[in-house]
Amino acid sequence: MLKIRNYIKVKSIAEAYELNQKKTACILGGMVWLKMGNRNISTAIDLSGLGLDTIQETEEEFIIGCMTSLRTLETNQALHEFSHGAVKESLRHIVGVQFRNCATVGGSIYGRYGFSDVLTMLLALDTWAEFYEGGKIPLSEFVNMKKNRDVLVNIRIRKTPVFCSYRSQRNSETDFPVLACAASLLGEETRTVIGARPGRAMIVGDPLGILKNFREMTNKQRAAAIASYAEYAADHVPTGSNMRASAEYRTMLVKVLVRRTWEAVGGMKNEY
């Protein structure tokens, strides 16, 4: 069972940072994951009084406060349009509306959970994590950083022009994903992210340049490039087994979901 000795609703991020330097302290997100563990927390730090639960939109970026609920992220119309529906697709299968009203963006990102749809999706966009002490760090860097005692304040999604698509495979509608995949044409970059491998989400990379000039390709060239890249991804993405699926099955899914997301990004098929 989760045990908490002290609970403090902080008045500032500085106060949260200070309290969080103790190893047994813990910053609370939505608690939907935390409450299932057996941790002994000396001080539970609550950021919910700091107005960090909203999304601000500027000319350059979306600034998402760390305490923003997944449901708020899902129902934000501007972000929905910016991401061509991909952000909503990545969130709507996560348990239920009540759960998504509790779970926070900050909690999902800071934890860098292997099962995270949110992390998989946001890695496919020009996303930055903003810390009290460490400042702004690209999410693609943060995902592989060691845990530290810093405080995640905002998630910033820069408005780099993007075409993207998100798909996940689940054993049942509201379960964790067995595999998650996001594909994006981010400015001139092509980016493919695989999550729920079941390890932490990773950017796949394209060292052979298979998807290079994807934008300029004809549909026939795109289909060939996608087929070849799907093979590449299946060969290079490490997968593992757990109670939900075997590594072999996940590797098959990598191939299928990479193909489907890229076909959607290319505007070739929309029915998935």
Partner 1 sequence: MNINFWLNGVCINCEAEPDMILLDLLREKGCYSVKRGCETSNCGLCTVLMDGTPVLSCSILAVRAEGHKITTLEGMQKEAEEFGSFLADEGADQCGFCNPGFLMNVFAMLQELKDPSEEDILEYLAGNLCRCTGFAGQTRSILKFLQYKKEQKEADNA
Q: Kind and range of the H or E element at 19? A: helix 13-20
Residues in contact with partner 1, counted by CB under 8 A, come to a total of 29
Q: Are 131 and 51 contacting, i.e. CB atoms less than 8 angstroms apart?
A: no
SS3 track for 63-80: EEECCCEHHHHHCCHHHH
- Both tokens assigned to 146: 């060691």
Site for partner 1 in 169-198 (CB under 8 A): 173-174
Q: Which of 102, 217, 247, 256 binds partner 1 (CB under 8 A)?
A: 102
Q: At closest approach, how far in Å is the CB of 116 from partner 1?
A: 15
Residue 158 to residue 178: CA distance in whole angstroms: 29
Q: Does 4 bind partner 1 (CB under 8 A)?
A: yes
| 31 or 217: CB nearest partner 1 | 31
Closest approach, Cβ 198 to partner 1, in A, equals 16
Binding of residue 213 to partner 1 (CB under 8 A):
no
7 lies in the site for partner 1, by CB under 8 A: yes
Q: Dump strand ranges (E) for the chain.
A: 3-9, 26-28, 40-46, 55-57, 61-65, 127-131, 135-138, 152-158, 162-170, 177-186, 189-195, 202-203
109 close to 118: Cβ distance less than 8 angstroms: yes
Choice from 12, 14, 22, 35 touching partner 1 (CB under 8 A): 35
Determine, following the binding rule CB under 8 A, whether residue 30 of this chain makes contact with partner 1: yes
What are the residues binding partner 1 (CB under 8 A)? Answer: 2-7, 9, 28, 30-33, 35-36, 41, 44, 46, 48, 92-93, 95-99, 101-102, 173-174
